[in-house]
């Protein structure tokens, strides 16, 4: 490998781990943000609702991605945390009469705790065994939500219906537009937090646990603590996502949060792009729109189309959508005068 | 006491099914080092093939063998054609392909054969041998078939060169390649054998739960749990694990007061996970030592 | 001249339809033109409840027949059916797509209690009819609070009350064991049954066992029910589990008096797989005909249904009771549209849906009709008890209409 491609790799790695952004990347980010802000005025209320859902799923995907992509722990049970977040919001709003925006931090904290507590025993389990434990969690979730003793709060098998919030300060926008903007704001805050968390000292420790747990603990990283903490943070993201999702859908019911939802999150993580923060956005979009696409192709066997699409994604974008975009970007920039790129890279590496 | 006996024998009978599925899980794990989420749906699909064969007048045992053969070929083809391109990427990519396969098989079965439940015949006589009455004749047959399959799998891995080569290919593909094992074909063979065992499980379970596209979804969970509880590297352990899961679930549902039927699956799973926390490689598995 | 022509046309229209002054004036809601009526639908074509996807396919086939015969008052039905995989979030998405993007006149036969609950408020806020939903929960008959939502089939709690009152009259000392699916459908039946037994519920119900749809079998529950000493068994289960339960009860030597909910009363897809011998003596309530039941073999309505199945659903399984259900409910929908005439606004459709008087739907049992009023949103209320004699459902007693 020559020096230039070496630098290129480092450049990509730096991008992924969220070191300094280059000018063009900042520009891209700003454009994406602008587009996201303009969206509610460009599409119908129904589309707004779909994008709000996608945002909610994107946050859940990011939560799962922090666990799987950055920490190397596997989970088939994140629907459980999504459910806890959703029910926290539903119960607070409908029974406590508390405003929807307060449910977001509370849902996050409740899930942080739940995730941390679940992470403690799960620590001893690795790979397949962790997969089974989390699988069990996701199977048990609907059953526990239906449990008679707590049905006073959860509504038992009936679930809870939620009233949709109105835009504040008499803003002249629709409920759907407002909810989209609100969700977008929450997502941006959480994404920036994740970016900060993962590029710093903590992030390095989290990744060290993934790459080589034994070596990491030899280096003085408290693997156990980091693993359960990561579990907690991951659950926090998913819980907040659940709360936003519940507010958008206006209804929570136990059987919604089944094993298939956990699977959908996993699909979002891998197709969006493993171990990447922007990938989560694509993951969220994938969860909402691929089933719709599959249904349009064939009503007779929509799942068959869904399955084929998943497999095709893995064939042609093995690193997920974000990985694919980065590859295109890398190819594109390489073509544009190698000299210029080399110079730019050299400049950055040796600050004079 | 009567209740206890009934619940236990019923648990054993269903445990036989879980054990059979657990064996298929172990088979593919030994051959490929992965769990296959689509295993249950493949078994269900095989059972539909058997159903069609029976419908065309093929006698039961011929159907049984033919279905195993077709499933074997099907398993090999799925590995060669569909799974092959993502092999060696990451585990997660393979998992997504498995999920895709699960969705495809489920949907196709519903499309071809409809979603209404279909009765599936049991090959066993109306009465269990030796005048046994506490366990049904079919349940008795299932346990017998499971033990036969177990013996075959055990002998295959322990004593045949192909079985050894397969394990080698799964555990250390690079070294296996160096000693001349064709790793790719070993994987395909593993898929084929797992599919064949799965088809047996499907044909054994269908007479009890009725044949329909979602037949195996619930059962696969128990199969996984059984395999992991017993130790995924050990066929004997997996079978024992399958039986244990069956019995455990019934006991928990019957005797733990606040659990009842409402939470019996949850409680059983919690118990299994607790066991795994203290014995991370399963009850009968061996500990894998890791190097840095 | 022009004036006179119009007048004549109006008079002619009024005469032929005989519905008075409304008929002359064309009033269209969203999704309606001179040639077309857009109707939306949500069905689980994928996922755990995909067995019910047959209903959506059946309805589509029925509307196709209607269109081939010239449509309703000259307008073709454009039936847009979306898949929600039995998931409430997807149902909300689908409902909004139908109402906001496709601009349908109404949503018809959206399936499942959770999915319909999720869109309940939305449909009423949008003042869009959510007609003849495919669930028997009691809550759809609430015209005061939810003017735009109406059920179709007899309600689950009502049916359960029929069994309860029969028991109180004929077997007051029964010891009842209940198996129910642990969701809103199962709980609805359970609550209706307990309510029907009233004060005697405590002493009569000796055991209650539940199962999850994801469970592979209900064997363990049946063993427990048998062990409880119950001599009467109320089987609140969906087809697969119903067949399992009937067979397991028989195999284990438990011979209780069995009540089977109507949801699973199809002979071809439940009792036959469970075994005719095993099912003999089971009691259910019925309101529509069953293709597998020999007593309806020569019924002209059944013959027409068969001809329709052969032409529009070739190769489909005729023993699947969902196709009879689809045929009946689609017939009711067409009846409402016919009644609405040229005033196809959402408000009038709802008004006509709440104004069905003794409508004879082809495959409903004799004596059972569809009736609604602005204060009664339960189209089919009446059912009749029936006992399985090993071959067919043998109806007995009067047609009962629980309130």
Tens of pLDDT, residues A32-68: 889 888 888 888 888 899 999 999 999 999 999 999 8
Q: What is the least distance, in Å, from the CA of A19 to any CA of chain B?
A: 25
CA pair distance C26, C33, nearest whole angstrom: 10
B129: number of Cβ within 10 Å? 11
Distance from CA of A32 to the nearest CA of B (A): 28
By C-alpha distance, the chain C residue nearest A57 is: C89
| pLDDT computed for residue B228 by the predictor | 84
Q: Do A218 and B292 touch (CB under 8 A)?
A: yes
Contacts of B118 in chain C (CB under 8 A): 273
- Nearest CA distance, A142 vs chain B (angstrom): 10
Mean pLDDT to the nearest integer, A69-94 = 90
Q: Which of C118, C182, C213 faces A249 most closely, judged by CB atoms?
A: C118
Looking at the complex, does the CB of residue A139 fall below 8 Å from at least one CB of chain B? Answer: yes
Q: Which of C46, C117, C121 sits opposite A302 (nearest CB)?
A: C46
Q: How far is the C-alpha of B228 from the C-alpha of B237, rounded, in Å?
A: 9
Alpha carbon of A228: minimum distance to chain B alpha carbons (Å): 15
pTM of the model: 0.87
Cα B251–Cα B253–Cα B258 angle in degrees, nearest 5: 120
Whether C311 and chain A come into contact, CB under 8 Å, resolves to no
Residue C180 backbone dihedrals phi, psi, to 5 degrees: -140, 150
pLDDT in tens, C82-127: 999 888 889 999 999 999 999 999 999 999 888 999 999 999 999 9
| Confidence class for position A340, pLDDT limits 50, 70, 90 | low
- Nearest CB partner across the interface for A303, out of C46, C87, C114: C46
Residue C387 has a pLDDT of 93
Q: What is the 3-state secondary structure (H, E, C) of C8-66?
A: HHHHHHHHHHCCCHHHHCCEECCCECCCEEEEEEEECCCCCCHHHHHHHHHHHHHHHHH
Distance CA C61, CA C106 (A): 18
CB–CB contacts below 8 A, B to C: 94
| A149 CB burial (10 A radius; 0-12, 13-18, 19+) | exposed
Q: Do C89 and A256 touch (CB under 8 A)?
A: yes
Question: Looking at residue C68, what is its pLDDT?
Answer: 94
Compute how many other C-beta atoms are within 10 angstroms of the C-beta atom of residue A19.
Answer: 12
Nearest CB to C88: which of A249, A299, A306?
A249
A295/C117 Cβ within 8 A? no
How many residues are present in chain B?
Answer: 292
Mean pLDDT across the stretch B141-156? 89
Residue B132 has a pLDDT of: 64
Determine the length of chain C.
403
B5 has pLDDT over 60: yes
ipTM score assigned to the predicted complex: 0.87
Question: C212: which chain A residues are within 8 Å (Cβ-Cβ)?
Answer: 142-143
Q: Quick one: tokens of A68?
A: 């799987």
Question: Which member of C50, C221, C273 has the closest CB to residue B117?
Answer: C273
User: CB distance from A150 to chain B under 8 Å?
Assistant: no
Backbone angles phi, psi at A101, to 5 degrees: -70, -25
How high does pLDDT run on average in chain C? 88
Nearest-Cα distance to chain C for B286, in Å, is: 31
Question: Which of B6, B14, B110 lies nearest to residue C217, judging by beta carbons?
Answer: B14
What residues in chain C have their Cβ under 8 A from chain B's Cβ atoms?
A: 46, 48, 50-51, 53-54, 182, 209-212, 214-217, 219-221, 223-224, 227, 239-240, 243-244, 251-252, 268-270, 272-273, 316-317, 319-320
Mean pLDDT of chain A: 83
User: Best residue in B266, B287, B291 to probe A by mutation, most A CBs within 10 Å?
Assistant: B266
**Could you tell me if B212 lies within 8 Å of chain C, comparing CB atoms?**
yes
Q: What is the pLDDT of residue C37?
A: 94
How do the domains of chain B map onto residue ranges? Answer: 2-278
Chain C residue at shortest CA distance from B253: C220
Contacts of A139 in chain C (CB under 8 A): 214
- Quote the pLDDT of residue B1: 58
Chain B: residue nearest C215 by CA? B218
**Closest to B40 measured CA to CA, from B244, B232, B218, B225:** B218
Beta bridge partners of C364: C288
| Phi, psi dihedral angles at C257 (to 5 degrees) | -75, 125
Predicted confidence at residue A216, as pLDDT, reads: 83
CA Rg, chain C, in Å?
A: 22
Mean pLDDT of A61-80: 90
Are A142 and C93 inside 8 Å of each other by CB?
no
What pLDDT, on a 0 to 100 scale, did the predictor assign at position B45?
Answer: 96
pLDDT in tens, C36-69: 999 999 999 888 788 888 999 999 999 999 999 9
pLDDT-derived band of residue C5, with 50, 70 and 90 as boundaries? low
Q: Give yes or no for residue C1 having a pLDDT over 80.
A: no
- Mean pLDDT value across residues B214-238: 85
If you ran DSSP here, which 8-state letter would residue B127 be given? S
Report pLDDT for C14.
43
- Looking only at the bridges linking them, the beta strands covering C393-400 and C383-388 are antiparallel
At C142, list the tokens: 């609430």
* Interface check C85 vs A, CB under 8 A: yes
pLDDT band at B233 (very low <50, low <70, confident <90, very high): confident
Nearest to B41 by CA among B164, B182, B213, B282: B213
More confident of the two residues C14 and C31: C31
Tell me the pLDDT tens digit for each residue of A125-179: 777 788 888 888 888 888 888 887 787 788 878 888 888 888 888 778 888 899 9
Q: What is the pLDDT of residue C22?
A: 46
Give the three-class secondary structure for A160: strand
Q: Residue C315 corresponds to which tokens in the numbers above?
A: 């190769």
Going across the sheet that includes C130-131, the strands are: C76-83, C36-43, C106-108, C130-131
State pLDDT tens for residues B242-282: 999 889 888 888 887 777 677 777 777 777 777 877 877 77
For B41-95, what is each residue's pLDDT tens digit?
Answer: 999 999 999 999 999 999 999 999 999 999 999 999 999 999 888 887 778 888 8
Q: Tell me: pLDDT of C17 over 60.
A: no
pLDDT digits (tens, 9 = 90+) for C220-272: 899 889 989 999 999 999 989 999 999 999 988 888 999 999 989 888 889 99
For A:101-140, CB contacts with C below 8 A are 139
Q: Which residue has the tokens 């589309």?
A: A47
Choose the closest CB to C114 out of A159, A250, A302: A159
Q: Would the CB atoms of A45 and C100 count as touching at under 8 Å?
A: yes
Q: Which chains touch A (3 or more CB pairs under 8 A)?
A: B, C
- Bridge partners of C72? C75
> Where residue C2 falls among pLDDT bands split at 50, 70, 90?
very low
In this complex, the residue of C48, C219, C243 whose CB is nearest that of residue B214 is C48
Predicted confidence at residue C18, as pLDDT, reads 42
Give the best residue of C182, C210, C219 to mutate against chain B (max B CB count within 10 A): C219
Q: Given this structure, which CATH class describes domain A40-302?
A: mainly alpha
Closest CA to C107 of C56, C40, C28, C29: C40
A166 touches chain C (CB under 8 A): no
Tell me if C58 sits within 8 A of C323, measured CB to CB. Answer: yes
Q: Is the CB of A18 inside 8 Å of chain C's CB atoms?
A: no
pLDDT at res. B46: 96
Contact A232, A112 (CB under 8 A): yes
Query: For residue A197, what pLDDT band results from cuts at 50, 70 and 90?
Result: confident
- pLDDT over 80 at A347, yes or no: no
Q: How many residues in total does chain A contain?
A: 352
Residue tagged 């199945």 (tokens): C309
Question: Does the domain spanning B2-278 belong to CATH 1.10.3470?
Answer: yes
């Amino acid at each position: 490998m020559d020096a230039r491609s070496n630098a290129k790799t480092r450049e990509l790695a730096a991008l992924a781990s969220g070191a300094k952004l280059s000018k063009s990347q900042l520009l891209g980010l700003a454009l994406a943000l602008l587009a996201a802000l303009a969206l509610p005025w460009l599409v119908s209320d129904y589309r707004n609702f779909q994008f709000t859902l996608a945002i909610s799923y994107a946050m859940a995907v990011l939560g799962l991605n922090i666990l799987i992509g950055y920490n190397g722990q596997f989970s088939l049970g994140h629907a459980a945390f999504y459910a806890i977040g959703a029910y926290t919001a539903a119960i607070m709003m409908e029974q406590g009469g508390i405003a929807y925006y307060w449910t977001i931090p509370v849902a996050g904290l409740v899930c942080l705790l739940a995730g941390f507590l679940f992470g403690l025993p799960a620590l001893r389990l690795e790979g397949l065994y962790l997969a089974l434990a989390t699988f069990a969690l996701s199977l048990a979730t609907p059953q526990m939500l239906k449990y008679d003793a707590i049905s006073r709060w959860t509504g038992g098998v009936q679930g809870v219906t939620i009233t949709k919030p109105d835009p504040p300060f008499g803003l002249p926008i629709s409920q759907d537009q407002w909810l989209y903007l609100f969700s977008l704001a929450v997502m941006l805050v959480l994404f920036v937090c994740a970016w900060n968390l993962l590029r710093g000292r903590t992030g390095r420790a989290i990744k060290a646990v993934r790459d080589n747990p034994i070596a990491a603990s030899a280096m003085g990283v408290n693997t156990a603590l980091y693993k359960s903490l990561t579990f907690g943070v991951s659950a926090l993201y998913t819980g907040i996502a659940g709360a936003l999702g519940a507010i958008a859908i206006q209804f929570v019911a136990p059987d919604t949060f089944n094993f298939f939802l956990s699977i959908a999150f996993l699909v979002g993580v891998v197709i969006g792009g493993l171990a990447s923060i922007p990938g989560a956005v694509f993951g969220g979009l994938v969860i909402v729109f691929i089933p719709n696409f599959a249904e349009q192709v064939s009503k007779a066997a929509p799942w068959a189309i869904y399955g084929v699409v998943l497999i095709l994604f893995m064939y042609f974008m093995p690193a997920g959508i974000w990985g694919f975009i980065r590859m295109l970007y890398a190819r594109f920039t390489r073509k544009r005068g190698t000299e210029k790129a080399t110079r730019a890279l050299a400049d950055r590496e040796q600050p004079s | 006491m009567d209740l206890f006996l009934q619940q236990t024998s019923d648990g054993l009978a269903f445990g036989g099914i879980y054990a059979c599925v657990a064996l298929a899980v172990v088979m593919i794990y030994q051959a490929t080092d992965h769990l296959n989420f689509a295993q249950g749906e493949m078994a269900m699909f095989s059972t539909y093939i058997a159903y069609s064969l029976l419908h065309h007048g093929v006698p039961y045992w011929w159907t049984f063998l033919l279905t195993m053969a077709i499933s074997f070929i099907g398993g090999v083809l799925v590995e060669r054609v569909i799974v092959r391109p993502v092999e060696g990427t990451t585990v997660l990519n393979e998992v997504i392909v498995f999920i895709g396969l699960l969705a495809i098989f489920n949907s196709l079965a519903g499309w071809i054969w409809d979603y209404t439940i279909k009765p599936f015949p049991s090959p066993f006589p109306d009465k269990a041998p030796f005048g046994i009455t506490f366990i049904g004749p079919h349940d008795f047959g299932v346990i017998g078939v499971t033990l036969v399959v177990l013996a075959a799998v055990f002998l295959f891995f322990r004593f045949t060169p192909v079985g050894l080569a397969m394990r080698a290919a799964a555990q250390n593909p690079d070294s296996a390649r160096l000693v001349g094992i064709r790793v790719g074909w070993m994987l395909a063979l593993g898929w084929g054998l797992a599919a064949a065992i799965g088809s047996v499980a499907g044909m054994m379970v269908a007479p009890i739960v009725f044949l329909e596209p979602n037949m195996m979804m619930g059962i696969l969970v128990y199969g996984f749990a059984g395999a992991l509880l017993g130790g995924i590297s050990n066929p004997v352990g997996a079978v024992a694990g399958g039986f244990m899961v069956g019995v455990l679930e019934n006991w928990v549902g019957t005797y733990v007061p606040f659990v009842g039927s409402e939470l019996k699956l949850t409680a059983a799973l919690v118990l299994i996970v607790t066991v795994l926390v203290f014995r991370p490689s399963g009850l009968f598995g061996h500990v894998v030592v890791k190097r840095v | 001249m022009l004036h006179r022509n119009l007048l004549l046309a109006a008079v002619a229209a009024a005469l032929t339809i005989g519905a008075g002054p409304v008929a002359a004036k064309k009033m269209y809601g969203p999704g309606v033109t001179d040639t077309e009526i857009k109707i939306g639908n949500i069905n689980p074509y994928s996922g755990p409840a995909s067995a019910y996807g047959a209903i959506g396919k059946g309805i589509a086939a029925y509307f196709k027949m209607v269109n081939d015969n010239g449509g309703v008052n000259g307008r073709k039905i454009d039936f847009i059916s979306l898949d929600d995989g039995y998931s409430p979030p997807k149902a909300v998405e689908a409902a909004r797509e139908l109402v906001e993007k496709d601009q349908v006149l109404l949503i018809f036969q959206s399936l499942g209690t959770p999915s319909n609950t999720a869109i309940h408020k939305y449909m009423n806020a949008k003042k869009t009819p959510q007609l003849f939903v495919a669930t028997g929960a009691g809550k759809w008959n609430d015209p005061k609070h939810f003017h735009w939502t109406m059920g179709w089939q007899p309600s689950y709690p009502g049916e359960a009350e029929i069994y309860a009152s029969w028991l109180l009259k004929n077997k007051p000392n029964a010891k009842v064991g209940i198996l129910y699916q642990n969701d809103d459908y199962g709980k609805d039946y359970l609550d209706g049954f307990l309510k029907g037994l009233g004060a005697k519920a405590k002493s009569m119900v000796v055991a209650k066992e539940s199962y999850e749809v994801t469970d592979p079998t209900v064997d363990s529950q049946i063993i427990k029910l048998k062990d409880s000493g119950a001599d009467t068994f109320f089987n609140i289960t969906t087809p697969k589990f119903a067949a399992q339960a009937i067979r397991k009860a028989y195999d284990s030597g438990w011979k209780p008096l069995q009540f089977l909910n109507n949801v699973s009363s199809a002979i071809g897809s439940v009792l036959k797989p469970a075994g005719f011998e095993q099912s003999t003596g089971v009691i259910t309530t019925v309101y529509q005909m069953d293709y597998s039941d020999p007593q309806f073999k020569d019924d002209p309505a059944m013959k027409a249904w068969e001809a329709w199945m052969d032409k529009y659903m070739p190769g489909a399984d005729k023993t699947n009771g969902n196709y009879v259900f689809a045929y009946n409910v689609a017939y009711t929908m067409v009846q409402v549209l016919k009644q609405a005439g040229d005033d196809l606004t959402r408000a009038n459709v709802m008004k006509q849906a709440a104004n069905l008087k003794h409508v004879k739907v082809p495959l409903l049992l004799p004596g059972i009709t569809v009736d609604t009023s602005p204060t009664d949103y339960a189209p089919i209320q009446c059912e009749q008890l029936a006992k399985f004699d090993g071959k067919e459902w043998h109806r007995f007693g009067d047609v009962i209409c629980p309130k």
